[in-house]
Structure 1
Amino acid sequence: MNLSPETLVSFLNGLPPELMLGAELVVCFGAVLAMARLFGAAGLYVYIAVAVIGANMQVLKAVDFAIYGHPVALGTVLFASSYLATDILAEHWGRAAARTGIMIGFAAFLLWTVLLVLTLGYAPLTPEAAGEDMAWALPVQGHLQALFLPQPAFFVAGMCAYLASQLCDVWLFDRIRRLTGERRLWLRNNASTMVSALIDNAVFSVLAWVVFAPEPLGWEPLVFTYILGTYGLRLAVALLDTPFMYLSTWAVRTRTSPGPGVPA
């Protein structure tokens, strides 16, 4: 059996997008719990960094779902899972730990951007220098540029939206917890995520696709594809992450100690 990456991608392309979305949701939310159980707060910090970088790459791809009349940009599930991670940090380690996770995500994306600039800064191979043995490397510069050239604008837009929405999420989560105590975990988890998700969608979409875009989008695709299109999905994801939020209590209390020097 041919198990090459091309074969796997071709197989996945043949699946309904809704099925792929469900699989991504299970993988992302399950990974949040696994990282919390295995590594505690440190594992969630790592997950947030990966989710922020990955979501800002996924957003370059739009997919046509049968349940919605407009193409929808990806990145929603992966980025939404970072809210689950920060809510778990706020619930079990406190507001300060959640804010630390947010700033680690910001620093990770900043460092990733700097490293990509340095990578692209190296002059690419010429066909003469590459020869036959290194001919495979000739398209790499173009592939990296296709992924990265939108990133400077996305970085500013994404980080403005990320900081505004995530800090709002943690603040609102903490305020509801102060009012309800240990009760109504579902309320603080869902309410904080739903409000902050709308802030994130609106800020990012306006900055990335209008303010910083060489060819600004019209208001119809901006609103229906990028703001409301993904917001409806994020509302559904926020509700679906509630069982994982409750499972986080089990994950945190039963995990193995990560060892000295790692936050518990």
Structure 2
Amino acid sequence: MLMYLNALFVGLLILSNIIGVKLFSVGNFVLPAAVIVYVVTYLVTDVIGEVYGKETAKKTVKAGFLTQIIAMIFIMIAINLPAAPIFEKQAEFSTILGGSFQVMLASLISYLVSQNTDVWIFHKLKAKHGNKKLWLRNNLSTMTSQLLDTTVFITIAFYGLPWSIILGMIGTQYAFKFLVAVIDTPIAYLLVKMAKREKHSTSTGAEVTS
């Protein structure tokens, strides 16, 4: 289960960086497309931290950071490879993926701040409450870290836009993330239950084998 959670975490990170250059609107509100993906990463690290411990969650965060850097390097290489004569979309390819570097830089900085804050708050509350009140540490750690993430990410990724738009995007995106954090609480309980069951069956099988 841990392998799948780590794979999901890293996959969502890379995907959010790629699609983050697109803005979409809901009524009068403007949001980056990454918001529909990145918000789930906090749920994943909370589940990993709850079942496998703080150090494992921190390793997942570090792995995600390194993976994003590697992805940026390979995207840069891909953009600068000489285009074949039959490939007529080099300009579009460069515009879309090249435009994501500012987004990726914003993501890296906000990622380090918010994900480490999430793990820290989550385990401070876990140390206080033990295995009780998962809903509290899941929501409080996520809501706090996502406020940091949203502010840092939007400010850097879309620097140059009018501040009225940037502040509006921060408020709108955080409101969306806040709502998702509340909604995903039952999912957190379900994933934790599944992971603990799988971890228990694995450890029991290892004991029987030995």
Aligned to 1:125, what secondary structure does the other structure show? coil
Equivalence for 1:164: 113
Contact 1:59–1:73 (CA under 8 A) maintained in structure 2: yes
Higher percent of residues as helix: 2
For 2:83, the equivalent position in structure 1 comes to 124
Quote the offset at 1:114 in angstroms: 0.8
**Correspondence 1:224 to 2:168:** yes
Length, aligned pairs only? 203
Task: Give me the identity figure in percent.
Answer: 25
2: CA distance between counterparts of 1:72 and 1:157? Answer: 15
Cα gap change, 1:92/1:253 in structure 2, threshold over 3 Å: closer, same or farther?
closer
CA RMSD of aligned residues (A): 1.9
Q: 1:113–1:151: 8 Å Cα contact kept in structure 2?
A: no
Residue 22 of structure 2: aligned partner: 61
Matched, 1:102 2:45: no
TM-score, length-normalised on structure 1? 0.72
What is the alpha-carbon distance in structure 2 between the residues aligned to residue 192 and residue 246 of structure 1? 15
Give the structure 1 partner of residue 129 of structure 2.
Answer: 180
Q: Which runs of 5+ in 2 are unaligned?
A: none
Q: Which amino acid aligns with 1:237?
A: V
Asked if structure 2 preserves the Cα contact closer than 8 Å seen for 1:77 and 1:237, the reply is no
* 1:196 maps onto 2:145 in alignment: yes
Regions of 4+ moved over 3 Å: 253-257
Say if 1:173 and 1:188, in contact at 8 Å, map to a contact too.
yes
In terms of Rg, which structure is larger?
A: 1
Structure 2 Cα separation of the partners of residues 107 and 232 of structure 1: 29
Q: Is the 8 A contact 1:62 1:73 kept in 2?
A: yes
Give the match for residue 34 of structure 1.
none
**How does the TM-score come out when normalised to structure 2?**
0.90
